[in-house]
């Protein structure tokens, strides 16, 4: 078999398994078998790069970051829907349909209103052409590369399906995927995302599809903008087309022929929607027949043949028992509501967020109040309102703290923010939170040292800052209660091992205000070492990806604080890693040269690229007029041809090694 035929066969097989897995949820091969197929294809394509096509399953995870989003003018405007909030309004809508069409029975379909981000997707000649957001309804952002990371979205259509059409749907993040994402963020000490919808919208706007690929996005399709050549005359036909094309439609769909049936369907959906894998905030009722739809027409904003029925967000009434103040590692004092336990959307709630003290004041929330709490998509319940009419007079006003509840130091509000902070950096709660952050899995990951031990050690005055951890030895630990010889051994080993952690983990672990895990990574990728980072000016810091006008001054100030300078000196002498391994400059032999690597070499391409950079060279992915050298290994393909054509100097590995030896 020729390589081209082999590649085609593998692609068809992989697409087939993808469909079984993501669409039908009925995989018939193991993950390992699937991975083996994909790897085989990757290897073949690596040998024959000229055969790689943009719709190959290996290209699913996008390529390099985009410059920005191009705009796409919608073939048909993307409208929104009018909302209804009661069964009565729904019956009124049905009556308008009856009147408009001048008959008793109007067939409608009802499906869940997915709480995500509206999207349009165009296929041409069987291939995914583009996907775009709604934007202003007339033009949207071209987010094709981000959508390509969604595994259930086929890049190529089955041969027996219509080949050119445009469909509309909703991109969402599954409830489970969202919960997992937030768990990971909590572990990394990063701020939690509020709800799946906003996170989906934010994710689609990311410019780097490689980051998007890590987010659990999926989509359902519910409408048609352009049927192409296909014969589509009703919503039922749309569903048949989606099925044929291997595109996912709504999980629950009702067909109704009267207002009574419509009301019954939305009630049934309300009972079932919690079990759906995505958030829903209502039902959509649409006239089935396209002839009827045309006759009913549209207003300037929304069609007359469809309406959204919104369910009320789930709420519960309970009593506010107390407001506790939590002290964070940056000293932030956050109010937390302690509630009389109450059952809400599938779980018992006894804590809720109150956001900040300004909000408490604005809503006039008092201890002892009957309050309404809500989980509207949000995973963490919030206090939304107070039932003032139920007050007895015994309720107590909540005052914003003027002092830290733990160390009694003065608490102040920072200039732009509403956050109130404890001003004492030695506050034992702040110290504990900072140490917990330093040792946790997302940062230095010190095995054997969890929150409990940190608390114990701080209380025993054994440690009060992160450098103290590296002074811990057997002698000092022996005096601690409930700490056996084995635990001590593990702890000492965990601390020793952590000295090898990459420097971005150390920077993240130090808890510089506004610097999260990904920010720390970008900083070390950019500067290569903590020393270079420490010297950087605010202007140089803002050159780093994701580091903006708030973060840069915070980093700059941190490295100029004498306490932090002393802390870093101690960490350095304890032997922690301050520089990325390969970033040291070996020579500047290759300064001003640009390299492209191709074919099979004795080391991986990444390692060779590192080596070139270590000698001052730049490495690029494609051959052009700007390429200085093509480093060509065994079985070099199209890049070699192009380099020869352009007159680029070609080196084999031996010549390359000779240059750097």
Which residue number, 179 or 201, has a Cβ lying nearer to ligand IVH?
A: 201
3-state secondary structure at position 387: coil
84 vs 627, which CB is nearer to ligand IVH?
A: 84
Of the listed pieces 112-120, 174-182, 528-536, 588-596, which binds ligand IVH according to CB under 6 A? 112-120
Q: Is the CB of residue 642 less than 8 Å from the CB of residue 623?
A: yes
Show the CA angle centred on residue 612, arms to residues 610 and 618, nearest 5°.
100
- Pick out residues in 156-195 that bind ligand IVH (CB under 6 A): 170
Q: Determine which residue in the list 80, 86, 350, 603 makes contact with ligand IVH, applying CB under 6 A.
A: 80
Query: First CA to last CA across the chain, in angstroms?
Result: 43
- What minimum distance in Å lies between the beta carbon of 149 and ligand IVH? 20
Closest CA to 244 of 500, 23, 91: 23
Q: CA separation (Å) from 373 to 81, 198, 361?
A: 28, 21, 17
Listed in sequence order, the residues at least 6 apart from 258 whose beta carbon sits closer than 8 Å to its beta carbon are: 94, 105
Q: Which of 14, 58, 111, 629 binds ligand IVH (CB under 6 A)?
A: 111
- What's the CA gap between 557 and 564, in Å, rounded? 10
Cβ–Cβ under 8 Å, residues 109 and 235? yes
Q: Is 253 in the site for ligand IVH (CB under 6 A)?
A: no
Q: Whose structure tokens read 């929330």?
A: 365
Q: Which of 61, 201, 308, 409 binds ligand IVH (CB under 6 A)?
A: 308
In the 8-state DSSP scheme, what is residue 391?
A: -
If one asks whether residue 406 binds ligand IVH (CB under 6 A), the answer comes out as no
When asked if residue 256 is in the footprint of ligand IVH (CB under 6 A), the reply is no
Q: Which residue is nearest to ligand IVH (CB)?
A: 118
Which C-beta is closer to ligand IVH: that of 303 or that of 405?
Answer: 303
**Position of tokens 């909590």?**
186
| Contacting range for ligand IVH; rule: CB under 6 A; set: 73-81, 206-214, 368-376, 527-535 | 73-81
For residues 207 and 276, which CB has a smaller minimum distance to ligand IVH in the complex?
276
> Taking Cα atoms as reference points, which of 568, 521, 580, 528 lies closest to residue 547?
521
* Displacement of CA 528 from its chain's centroid (Å): 26
Look up tokens 């097989």; give the residue. 13
CA 626/CA 620 separation, integer angstroms:
10
Contact pattern from residue 268 through residue 307 relative to ligand IVH, giving x for each residue in contact according to CB under 6 A and a dash for the rest: ----------------x------------------x--x-
Of 248 and 639, the one with the shorter C-beta distance to ligand IVH is 248
Q: Is 74 in the site for ligand IVH (CB under 6 A)?
A: no
Query: Least distance in Å: CB of 120 to ligand IVH?
Result: 10
Whether 180 is catalytic: no
Q: Does residue number 590 form part of the binding site for ligand IVH (CB under 6 A)?
A: no
Identify the burial level of 584 via C-beta atoms within 10 angstroms of its C-beta, where 0-12 means exposed, 13-18 middle and 19 or more buried.
exposed
Q: Is 472 a residue that touches ligand IVH (CB under 6 A)?
A: no
CB 432 within 8 A of CB 464: no
Taking phi over 0 as left and psi of -120 to 50 as alpha, with beta for the rest, 514 belongs to left
- As measured in angstroms, the least distance from the Cβ of 419 to ligand IVH is 35
- Give the active site residue among 47, 60, 99, 113: 113
Establish if 552 lies at the interface with ligand IVH (CB under 6 A): no
- Residues 199-228 contacting ligand IVH, CB under 6 A: 222-223
Residue 517 binds ligand IVH, judged by CB under 6 A: no
Q: 393: which DSSP letter?
A: S
The residue among 288 and 429 lying less far from ligand IVH, judged by its C-beta, is 288
Judged by the rule CB under 6 A, the positions of this chain that interact with ligand IVH are 79-81, 111, 113-114, 118, 170, 222-223, 250, 284, 303, 306, 308
Q: Which residues are catalytic?
A: 113
């Amino acid at each position: 078999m020729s390589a081209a035929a082999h590649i085609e066969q593998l692609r068809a097989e992989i697409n087939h398994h993808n469909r079984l897995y993501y669409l039908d949820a009925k995989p018939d091969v193991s993950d390992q078998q699937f991975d083996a197929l994909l790897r085989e294809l990757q290897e073949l394509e690596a040998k024959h790069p000229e055969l790689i096509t943009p719709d190959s399953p290996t290209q699913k995870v996008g390529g390099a970051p985009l410059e920005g989003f191009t705009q796409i003018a919608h073939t048909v405007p993307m409208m929104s829907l009018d909302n209804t909030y009661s069964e009565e309004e729904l019956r009124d809508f049905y009556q308008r349909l009856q009147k408009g069409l001048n008959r008793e029975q109007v067939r409608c379909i009802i499906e869940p209103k997915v709480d995500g981000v509206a999207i349009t997707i165009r296929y041409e000649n069987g291939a995914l052409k583009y996907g775009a957001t709604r934007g202003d309804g007339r033009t949207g952002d071209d987010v094709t590369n981000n959508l390509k990371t969604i595994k259930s979205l086929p890049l190529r259509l089955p041969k027996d399906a219509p080949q050119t059409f445009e469909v509309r749907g909703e991109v969402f993040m599954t409830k489970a995927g969202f919960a997992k994402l937030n768990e990971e963020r909590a572990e990394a000490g990063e701020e939690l995302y509020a709800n799946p919808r906003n996170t989906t919208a934010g994710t689609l706007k990311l410019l780097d599809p490689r980051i998007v690929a890590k987010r659990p996005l999926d989509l359902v399709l519910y409408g048609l903008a352009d049927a192409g050549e296909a014969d589509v005359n009703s919503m039922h036909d749309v569903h048949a087309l989606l099925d044929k094309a291997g595109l996912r439609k709504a999980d629950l769909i009702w067909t109704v022929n009267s207002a009574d049936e419509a009301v019954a369907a939305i009630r049934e959906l309300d009972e079932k929607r919690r079990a759906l894998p995505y958030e829903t905030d209502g039902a959509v009722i649409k006239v089935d027949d396209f002839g009827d739809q045309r006759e009913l027409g549209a207003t300037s904003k929304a069609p007359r043949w469809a309406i959204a029925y919104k369910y009320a967000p789930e709420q519960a009434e309970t009593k506010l028992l107390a407001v506790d103040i939590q002290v964070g590692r940056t000293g932030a004092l956050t109010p937390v509501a302690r509630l009389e336990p109450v059952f809400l959307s599938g779980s018992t709630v006894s804590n809720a967020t109150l956001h900040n003290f300004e909000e408490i004041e604005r809503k006039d929330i008092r201890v002892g109040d009957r309050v309404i709490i809500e989980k509207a998509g949000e995973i963490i319940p919030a206090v939304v309102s107070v039932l003032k009419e139920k007050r007895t007079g015994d309720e107590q006003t909540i005052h914003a703290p003027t002092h830290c509840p733990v160390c009694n130091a003065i608490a102040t509000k920072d200039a732009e923010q509403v956050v109130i902070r404890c001003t004492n950096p030695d506050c034992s709660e702040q110290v504990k939170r900072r140490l917990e952050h330093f040792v946790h899995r997302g940062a230095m990951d010190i095995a054997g040292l969890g929150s409990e031990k940190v608390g114990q050690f701080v209380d025993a005055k054994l440690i009060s800052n992160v450098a103290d951890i590296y002074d811990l030895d057997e002698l000092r630990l022996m005096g601690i209660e409930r700490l056996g010889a084995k635990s001590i051994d593990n702890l000492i080993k965990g601390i020793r091992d952590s000295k090898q952690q990459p420097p971005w983990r150390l920077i993240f672990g130090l808890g510089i205000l506004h610097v999260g895990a990904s920010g720390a990574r970008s900083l070390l990728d950019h500067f290569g070492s903590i020393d270079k980072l420490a010297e950087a000016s605010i202007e140089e810091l803002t050159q780093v990806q994701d580091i903006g006008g708030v973060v840069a001054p915070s980093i700059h100030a941190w490295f100029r604080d004498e306490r932090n300078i002393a802390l870093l000196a101690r960490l350095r002498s304890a032997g922690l890693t301050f520089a990325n391994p390969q970033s040291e400059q070996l020579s500047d032999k290759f300064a001003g040269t640009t390299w492209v690597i191709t074919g099979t070499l004795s080391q991986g391409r990444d390692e060779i690229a590192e080596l070139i950079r270590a000698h001052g060279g730049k490495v690029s992915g494609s051959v052009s007029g700007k390429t200085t050298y093509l480093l060509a290994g065994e079985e070099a393909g199209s890049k070699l041809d192009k380099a020869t054509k352009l007159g680029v100097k070609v080196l084999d590995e031996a010549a390359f090694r000779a240059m750097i030896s």
